[in-house]
Each structure stands twice: as C-alpha cells, then as structure tokens.
Amino acid sequence: MNENLRLAIQKKGRLHDKSMQLLKSCGIEVENFQDRLFVSASNFNLDILFLRDDDIPEYVQDNVAHIGIVGENEMLEKGLAVKPVKQLGFGKCSLRLGIPEKDELKSIKDLENKIIATSYPKILNNFLDENKIKAKVIELSGSVEIAPSLGIADYICDLVSTGNTLKLNKLKKSFNILNSQAVLIQSEKFNLSPELKKIFNKLLLRIESSLKAKKSKYIMMNVPKDSLEQIIKIIPSLESPTVLPLSNKGLVAVHAVINEDKFWEINEDLKAAGASGILSMPIENIIL
Ligand code: PRT
Ligand code: ZN
C-alpha cells in the first residue's frame, strides 16, 4: 500500500484558512474537513492532521506528522528538533516589547531589573541573555497585554500585527525581538523514506510555484511599434516579454510576467512611453 505524507496544520485560528488556501493553490483537494482531526486529500498522497499550533512542533519532531505548518515564533519557542523548510509568506507578525504609552525606553539596557510578562519566555530570555540584561520574565499563557494595568509586570513581550491590541491597552510598541511568519517545518531526527521524499519534493515544488505566482502579475498592454524597444527596457520581466501582432498595424501587444511590487512603479513610465490599455492579472501558478 502507498504511504501518504502526513502534514500537520492548525485546526482553528489565524493560520488555518491560509494553510488550507495554500494547499488549494497547489491543486490539492481536501473535502469535508470541518470538525475532523484527520483527513486525506482526494488527489494527492497527503494526509492532513488538524492540531493546536502549540502541539505541531512536537508532532513533527516525533514523526507523527512528517511536516507541519506553524509560526516561526512557535517553532523557536518550543525549541524542539525541527527545522524550517520554507517560509510561506502568511501569518506575518513581530514579537515585540510593549510598554506603557507614557514610558520611554531609550536603550535595551533600560530593561534591567524590570518585570516582563510574555507567552514566549524562551525567546525573550535568549534575547535578554544575548544583550546581557537581567530582567524578571513572567510566563502568561494569554491576555498578556493586561499585565501592566494589573500591576503584575512593567512591560510585555507579545506578538503584534496591526498594533491595535497594544493601543487598546494603552501600550505602545518598543524593541522588535523577532519577525515571524508561517513556515513549513520538518523533523531533524527522522529522514523520510524514498517514497515519501518523492511526495514531499512534489509538494514543495508546487508550494514554491504557488508562492512565486502570488508575488507575480501577468501584464498586457498595447504598444506603438516605434516604442517597442523602449518599452521592453522598462519592463522588469521574469522572462523575455511576448510580443504579438495586432490588426492595427501600427500597434503590437506586449505580455509579460513581473514582480507584483513593480507594477505601480513602472506604470507611469509605460504610459509616458506610449503604452495603452495596460492590464494586470493575478497568476495561479508559475512553473519555472
Ligand atoms: O488554538 P491554537 O493554540 O491553535 O491557536 P492560538 O490561539 O495559540 O494561535 P493563533 O491562532 O492566535 O495564532 C497562530 C499564529 O498566528 C501565531 O503563532 C503567529 O505565528 C501568527 N500570528 C500572526 C499571530 C498574530 N499575527 C497576532 N496578531 N498570533 C497572535 N496574534 C495576537 C497577539 O498575540 C495579540 O494578542 O493578536 C494580538 C495582536 O494583534 P494586533 O493586530 O492587535 O497587533
Ligand atoms: Zn496556540
């Protein structure tokens, strides 16, 4: 019987939907997974285990799941024998010090002898040790942001994305300790069998092509033949652009794949060089 690759993802929470979307963008179909702990993909040799994110590093380390998707913060805090394979570009946040709005931290040295509440004691203690700071770290499993107003800590160290939670609690951002995003992890202790390795490589290739596609745009425009050379120079295309004839003999159509960030940057230059009808479209996958 063929063995399936086992992937652990978060059952509920901030990383669940994006993890499922990633699988979908890889062409992997998973049906009726709601409220289940385990499900097999219908068109790929993949079983999915739905777990709490805190448990994923351990399940992966011990080979219960062969790979998993967790935040880098969770992977580092657990400090288990797992290694990152690929950053996945979602679940972005930073682990930061949060301090009362009225306070001022001029340097890391100002943390000396302070009390800091966090759910990430390991990462915070490493940071303090690296900076040779002696501070008292209190571990809280949730609602860390209320610790200063309850008088149980001077500062907090917590994940921040928009910063709204800090503001609501009359706190502000201070030093950044870690930038984090969702990451695909693998055990450092176990090697995959040759058969599972093949499935894993196939999945990784699909993930890479999906991530590349997300960052890219397909652009199309009409260009006067005389300006073609100049316009091709402006387009930071991944591959050489495609030039197609149009029924209007003075014009050609130019198609290209570019990095998404570049689209607005080059738009004005393209127009100034005579391009018209500039369209940009999302791309589902790029196999290079
Ligand atoms: O139930 P389970 O244990 O699986 O989930 P969980 O509640 O422990 O985790 P969950 O779903 O909240 O987060 C999962 C992962 O998402 C985290 O480990 C991070 O890698 C990532 N992530 C990204 C975040 C945030 N952004 C985030 N903003 N995790 C938590 N937060 C919290 C933060 O702790 C704070 O309370 O959101 C609040 C701050 O958000 P802003 O937008 O107000 O700054
Ligand atoms: Zn959790």
- 76 pLDDT band, cuts 50/70/90, is very high
Gyration radius of the chain over CA positions: 24
pTM assigned to the model:
0.91
- 33 pLDDT band, cuts 50/70/90, is confident
The string of pLDDT tens digits covering residues 234-252 is 998 878 899 999 999 899 9
A 10 A CB-CB count for 132 gives 9
pLDDT at 223 over 60: yes
Stated as kind and residue range, the H or E segment containing 2 is none
Stated as kind and residue range, the H or E segment containing 52 is none
Mutational pocket test of ligand 1: of 50, 143, 161, 177, the residue with most ligand atoms within 8 Å of the beta carbon: 161
Dihedral pair phi/psi, residue 174, rounded to 5°: -125, -140
Q: What is the pLDDT of residue 239?
A: 80
Whole-number Å distance between alpha carbons of 152 and 138: 9
pLDDT at 1 over 70: no
Residues with Cβ within 6 A of ligand 1?
10, 12-15, 52-54, 71, 73-74, 91, 93, 158-165, 180
Higher per-residue pLDDT: 249 or 118: 118
For the chain, give the mean pLDDT: 95
Dihedral pair phi/psi, residue 73, rounded to 5°: -60, -45
Q: What is the pLDDT of residue 49?
A: 97
Q: What is the pLDDT of residue 168?
A: 98
* CA–centroid distance, residue 40 to ligand 1 (Å): 27
pLDDT at 59 over 90: yes
Whole-number Å distance between alpha carbons of 92 and 7: 21
Which among 254, 239, 242 has a CA at the least distance from the CA of 288? Answer: 239
Which among 71, 62, 59 has a CA at the least distance from the CA of 95? Answer: 71
| Ligand showing the shortest atom-to-Cα distance for residue 159 | 1
* List of domains in the chain: 5-90+182-213 (3.40.190.10), 93-180 (3.40.190.10), 216-282 (3.30.70.120)
Query: Whose C-alpha lies nearest to ligand 1, atom 29?
Result: 159
| Ligand showing the shortest atom-to-Cα distance for residue 90 | 1
| Ligand showing the shortest atom-to-Cα distance for residue 172 | 1
Percent of the chain as helix, strand, coil, to the nearest 5: 35, 35, 35
| Ligand showing the shortest atom-to-Cα distance for residue 142 | 1
- 284 pLDDT band, cuts 50/70/90, is confident
* CA–centroid distance, residue 14 to ligand 1 (Å): 6
Q: What is the pLDDT of residue 187?
A: 98
Whole-number Å distance between alpha carbons of 236 and 154: 50
The string of pLDDT tens digits covering residues 130-143 is 999 999 999 999 99
* CA–centroid distance, residue 159 to ligand 1 (Å): 7
Q: What is the DSSP string of 252-277?
A: EEEEEEEETTHHHHHHHHHHHTT-EE
* CA–centroid distance, residue 207 to ligand 1 (Å): 23
pLDDT at 113 over 70: yes
Mutational pocket test of ligand 1: of 9, 53, 169, the residue with most ligand atoms within 8 Å of the beta carbon: 53
Query: Which atom of ligand 1 lies nearest, measured to the CA of 168?
Result: 43
The string of pLDDT tens digits covering residues 61-70 is 999 999 999 9
